[in-house]
Amino acid sequence: MNEKGKEEECDFTVVLQQPTPGPSSPLTPSTPNSRAGRRLGSIDNPIVIEEESDGVGEDDDVIILLSRPVYKKREGKRSTRNRVLSPPPSTSTSTTIRTLNKVQTSHKDRSASSSHAPITCHLPTPPPSESPSSPISVRLTYTSIERPIPSIRDLPFDFHSYTGKHLGLRANRDIKRGELIIKEEPFFTLPIGDIDEDITSDHILPLLPLSQDCQGLFHSFTGRTDRHADNDHYVNIIETNSIPLISKDSQALGLFRHICRVNHSCTPNSGWSWVEDEGNLHLYAYTNIDCGEEITASYLPQKGITLSYAQRQRHLLNGHGFVCLCDACATSAIQIVEADTSLALFEYLQDEWMETDLGEYAADIHDALRKLNQAKSILLSNDKFNAVGDVLEQLYDVYAIHGMLKRSKDAALQCLDHFTVCLGKKAAEQSRYAALAMDPTLFERWAELDSSRERKKRKRRREDKAVRMSIRIRRSYEDTFASD
């Protein structure tokens, strides 16, 4: 990661209250007129800081309380992009009380699992001489996750308000297939243990308060408003707008000023790719995008290429709170049925090559190539450009196991081109197809089914056997003559 959090200090005035023990104790919101009232205990920030005094000595604890209930995440209510959601069960409420140490420990645990630098809070313990009800000034130091915000100048798109959708991105010039539309650092990152984990206010608490710029960007996004909307404003915005950032060792949800504005399409003309070592999300054009055209990406899970119209709508409605009216969805019933049928056929063809050993699948090369070309044409006719890579990889394998040098090389080059378009040049060059395009014989099962190679092997074995026999015969003659 190249970002280094910026250390900031800000003064907050908070009202210290004697805490009432027990999770059901009433919580006191901060004073509306105080500066802390805008940042602490407000609707945007549920934190209230209280002092816990045991009446002995000076080791009083500072307690961070939530000014309103923390809603446990309803199981299955997932709205973060690229996740499959299930119906929401009942909501349970509980109030979370954490000591400062606990908050910091929890924060450290999360930061250890991510390369991102979240906020660290250092709250001084208030002096015991202060009256519990009198306002005191607390100096709050935190490392902001604020990062440089890219300027929209020079970017190949503008923000545009589309009817029936939120703000989207509109190309302001022609964009070529494979072009990097934008690479962007997240302005907010939420480390999570698992991408399917339900996020709650507890996850976000250690990251608060946000810096002012970060707050501004955060609240420029809108959360969903349907029945699946989370009661916590922060959770709702993250669930509605964040993008999963999956790395080798850590997973996080990220918010991006521009890329999070890309609207969904079931036939997207662009897609994003998280580059872990750069700390950037790249948005690549899958097709040529004309000036004035909307830039779209898919919110469906990666393996959701073959979802039918009904499955897609269910996923998007439950997960993201909208009915998709993209070109693939807002069309005639007959075309929807045709598309669903062809995608079901693709799924059948894909299952076959995924579940069959390559040697068995490619034994009849003509049959294998016929099925793979059929799968490829189904994807292209349904504008599923980003899924074509799977077919190209299988085509390479079939050619390579038969030891067909030129065709293997062409297929490896096509894989390389596909990954360059979808993942960028650097990722493509790091893929196995960069090496295989140079030397296709590096494939581990190269020419395993090459019949001409098998014939040569058998011939060589016959010749070796003949040589061994002739040596044995000569020796027996030599022994005979020697004895005479």
Of 226-234, 259-267, 283-291, 467-475, the window that binds Zn ion (rule: CB under 5 A) is 259-267
Closer of 199 and 324 to Zn ion (Cβ): 324
For Zn ion, give the closer residue by CB, 85 or 328.
Answer: 328
Does 317 sit near Zn ion (CB under 5 A)?
Answer: no
Task: Give the nearest distance from C-beta 285 to Zn ion in angstroms.
Answer: 19
Q: What does the alpha-carbon distance between residue 354 and residue 394 come to, in Å, rounded to a whole number?
A: 9
190 scored as a contact of Zn ion (CB under 5 A): no
Nearer to Zn ion, 28 or 313 (CB): 313
Task: Considering the complex, state which of residue 324 and residue 378 has its C-beta at the smaller distance from Zn ion.
Answer: 324
Closer of 116 and 312 to Zn ion (Cβ): 312
Residue 335 CB, nearest distance to Zn ion (Å)?
12
Do residues 77 and 51 lie in contact, with contact meaning Cβ atoms separated by under 8 Å? no
Phi, psi of 244, deg, nearest 5: -65, 135
Choose one: 2-10, 38-46, 115-123, 322-330; the region binding Zn ion (CB under 5 A).
322-330
Least distance (Å) between residue 169 CB and Zn ion = 17
Site string for Zn ion, 267-306 (x = CB under 5 A): ----------------------------------------
Nearest CA-CA partner of 188 in 197, 177, 199:
199
- Which residues 436-475 are close enough to bind Zn ion by CB under 5 A? none
CB 327 within 8 A of CB 267: yes
Phi (first) and psi of residue 474, to 5 degrees: -65, -40
Q: Which is nearer to Zn ion, 338 or 417 (CB)?
A: 338
Q: Is 208 in the site for Zn ion (CB under 5 A)?
A: no
Give me the least distance between CB of 94 and Zn ion, in Å please. 38
Stretch that binds Zn ion, among 14-22, 41-49, 253-261, 262-270 (CB under 5 A): 262-270
Nearer to Zn ion, 71 or 322 (CB): 322
User: 324, 362, 428, 447: which one contacts Zn ion (CB under 5 A)?
Assistant: 324
Among 50-58, 199-207, 318-326, 451-459, the segment contacting Zn ion (CB under 5 A): 318-326
Q: Which window, 149-157, 253-261, 279-287, 317-325, contacts Zn ion (CB under 5 A)? A: 317-325
Smallest separation, CB 263 to Zn ion (Å): 11
Q: What angle do CA 250, 254, 257 make, to 5 degrees?
A: 155
For residue 304, the minimal CB distance to Zn ion (Å) is 11
Residues 349-408 binding Zn ion (CB under 5 A) are: none
Q: Is 84 in the site for Zn ion (CB under 5 A)?
A: no
Q: Give the other-Cβ count within 10 Å of 453's Cβ.
A: 14
Taking the complex as a whole, how short is the minimal distance between the CB of residue 379 and Zn ion, in angstroms? 16
Which token pair is 96?
């979370």
Cβ-based nearer residue to Zn ion, 156 or 319? 319
Is residue 326 within the footprint of Zn ion (CB under 5 A)? yes
Q: Which of 136, 180, 229, 329 binds Zn ion (CB under 5 A)?
A: 329
Min dist. Cβ of residue 327 to Zn ion (A): 8
Residue number with CB closer to Zn ion (329 or 365): 329
How many binding residues for Zn ion (CB under 5 A)? 5
Give residue 426's identity as a one-letter amino acid code: K
> What is the widest separation between alpha-carbon atoms in the chain?
126
Give the nearer residue to Zn ion in terms of CB position, either 221 or 299: 299
The candidate with the shortest Cα–Cα distance to 16, out of 109, 123, 93, 105, is: 123
**Is-contact 252 189, C-beta < 8 A?**
yes
Q: Least distance (Å) from Zn ion to the CB of residue 264?
A: 7
Beta pairing, strands 270-275 & 97-99: unpaired
For Zn ion, the closer CB: 275 or 317: 317
CB nearer Zn ion, residue 74 or residue 320: 320
Mark the segment that binds Zn ion (CB under 5 A) among 325-333, 369-377, 394-402, 466-474. 325-333
Question: Whose Cβ is closer to Zn ion: residue 266's or residue 297's?
Answer: 266
**266: contact with Zn ion by CB under 5 A:** yes
Please state the closest distance from residue 361 (CB atom) to Zn ion, in A.
32
167-171 and 270-275 strand pairing: unpaired
Q: Which positions lie near Zn ion, rule CB under 5 A?
A: 266, 324, 326, 328-329
